Amino acid sequence: MSNSVQMPALGESVTEGTVTRWLKSVGDTVEVDEPLLEVSTDKVDTEIPSPFAGVLEKILADEDDVVEVGGDLAYIGDGSDSGSAEVAPEEEPASEAAEESAPAEEKSEDEAPAEDTSSSSESEKTETSAESAPAADSQSSSGEGTEVTMPALGESVTEGTVTRWLKEVGEEVEVDEPLLEVSTDKVDTEVPSPVAGVVQAHLAEEDETVEVGAPLARIGSGAPAESAPAAEEPKQEEAPKEEAPKEQPKEEEAPKEEEAPKEEPKQEEAPKEEAPKQETTSASAPAAQSAAAAQSAPAKSESAPAKSESAAADTVGENSAYVTPLVRRLAKDEGVDLSTVTGTGVGGRIRKQDVIAAAANRPAAGSSAPAPAASGEAKKPFTLEIPEEAAKLRGTTEKASRIRQTIAKRMSESLEVSAQLTQVIEVDMTRVAKLRKANKDAFLDKHGVKLTYLPFFAKAIVEALKQHPKVNAQYDLESQEITYFDHENLAVAVDTPRGLLVPVVKDAGDLSIAGLAKAIDDVADRTRNNKIMPDELSGGTFTVTNIGSVGALFDTPIINQPQMGIIGTGAIVRRPIVVKTADGEESIAIRDMVYLPLTYNHQLVDGADAGRFLQTIKARLEDGNFEADLEL
């Protein structure tokens, strides 16, 4: 019995999606939740996991097809419905192509003069190419390789800009290995290679805008044809008689070669088409490349000692699944060799948790480093280490990515359309810190996510929004109308390799700390991995940004329009504070303190309104009565 896989709902306002790539072929076995295909909307690309386990019996929607939500995509069953019936059509073209190649061989033999050895060798070459044509016709019309085309990056996206080539001409690439980076006005993404082979040519340069479906590169099974022998052969054939006298001595030796088995047609080509020159050129090219690589290798290893770690981080076993850019970057930062990491994700994918665990379980090689200082030996002189990525940027000029352009535009517009100012309050987080420390292990065991300070801040914020509706509102300057929301959609700023993105936790006011912790962890993780849905990046009524994650005490955040405010959560630090004892006396105590800066729109929210809002948050956090919200 077969089960139908349907296009899932990709967001509240999304009614259809485009099939960009099938990750499984007909006949492949698929597990539950294993990625089955990639689907694109006008804002995001995402993978669709299989809802069933079994064999992919039939694909109902081809790549680039637009399918409505609920429409059928494929059939998955026990494999009984797929088999010889579907295999047979694939075998027929091969046999037909073989039959077609036979007349071509006969024709080339009839046209070739008996005394012209070059023509006979060319007919053999024609036979060889005719035999290989069936295998290549599905890859490229030229027969030289597979053309990689610009994928559909969204329903309304018609073109993309090549921002960076990740593989150079001549380099090998595996299936699903990132080939280049492409940018649109809404997202930057990597384009994986659809086939394995060698990059033979870049058909689009960096910063070049390419339409959807247009060729980007050509990937084949051999080295790039730098001397283009195929293109030069017709010219050499035009004047074979003129070159014949020069090659006459070699033609006299040809009979010895002709007496040998006909398995060596390449030896017959050499005297007529001046192939020795081409062979020298083609042979010297790899030698030059290997020599250049050998010369550059020591220089790179000397100037960048950490390069080996980054190279190791990019290394993944042949049987490993595709690794996201976030995981690669994390592996580089942690110095983890991905080839040694066992993935625990769907289909064996390596997740960030796997990299973190691998880094934690490494032998503590650096544990002996502090020993010289502890034993009284002199410390080594300070050495400035510049990260490789920073070193590459120094002294360069680059074009801003589409996401960076969008961020820059929206931040400037926000300051232009609203009257923004910032108010800061200091909060004693000691009770929350003690509660968190006492329950973080049990919380992780029960809920599967770490108990950070952010859910405590989020809980206090959404409760305060209910008590101060002006801060949870929207002011329309054109209609002069104010809308007070009856729900709290909390937007959370997330730092990603592509730039700052702000996913939204819908109806956050209805969630406990446990619910907020899981929701924030979920949207943040999917945002960093470019798996967030379009509707999850809009609809927020208030924003929180965790500036303390980088050690900042406070900031003046910019409002995410058209919201009325944004609050920053600074770093929590222990410092001496004047406190009152139970009998009313003052004393100095070490407390966990934090600054909370609130930027608000003075067009609607007055300074007193902002102050009362902050005081409500302060009182809730300092009281620290959150035990029930932990749901332990």
Catalytic residue among 33, 116, 487, 602: 602
Asked about 487 being catalytic, the answer comes back as no
Query: Rounded to 10 degrees, what is the CA torsion of 486, 491, 492, 498?
Result: 170
- Contacts for 169-177: CB closer than 8 Å, 24+ residues apart: 169/199, 169/200, 169/201, 169/202, 169/224, 170/198, 170/199, 170/223, 170/224, 170/289, 171/198, 171/199, 172/196, 172/197, 172/198, 172/199, 173/197, 173/198, 173/199, 173/219, 174/318, 176/321, 176/322, 177/322
Cα–Cα distance between 391 and 396 in angstroms, integer?
10
* Residue 140 and residue 149 in contact, taking contact as beta carbons nearer than 8 Å: no
Element (H, E) at 125: helix 117-136
Cis geometry, peptide bond prior to residue 562 (ω within 30 degrees of 0): yes
Quick one: which of 417, 563, 420, 422 has its CA closest to 477? Answer: 417
Structure tokens at 300: 């790179």
* Residue 556 and residue 422 in contact, taking contact as beta carbons nearer than 8 Å: yes
Burial of 243 (0-12, 13-18, 19+ CB in 10 A): middle
Contacts of 190 (CB under 8 A, 6+ apart): 166, 178, 179, 180, 181, 182, 325
* Residue 72 and residue 4 in contact, taking contact as beta carbons nearer than 8 Å: yes
**What is the DSSP pairing of strand 494-496 with strand 45-49?**
unpaired
Asked about 447 being catalytic, the answer comes back as no
* Residue 79 and residue 57 in contact, taking contact as beta carbons nearer than 8 Å: yes
| Position 202, amino acid | H
Catalytic residue among 606, 609, 623, 629: 606
Sheet with 29-30: list strands edge to edge. 3-6, 72-77, 54-59, 29-30
Angle at which helix 117-136 crosses helix 84-111, to 10 degrees, equals 170
Q: Coil, helix or strand for 542?
A: strand
Cα–Cα distance between 347 and 351 in angstroms, integer?
11
Sheet with 215-220: list strands edge to edge. 146-149, 215-220, 197-202, 172-173
CA distances from 630 to 443, 511, 544 (A): 7, 11, 20
Query: Could you give the angle at the alpha carbon of 339 between the alpha carbons of 333 and 343, nearest 5°?
Result: 90
* Residue 201 and residue 165 in contact, taking contact as beta carbons nearer than 8 Å: no
Quick one: which of 49, 56, 66 has its CA closest to 3? Answer: 56
The beta strand positions in 15-114, using DSSP E, are 16-22, 29-30, 35-40, 45-49, 54-59, 66-68, 72-77
Residue 489 neighbours by CB distance under 10 Å: 21
Structure tokens at 5: 């896989």
The residues assigned a catalytic role are: 602, 606
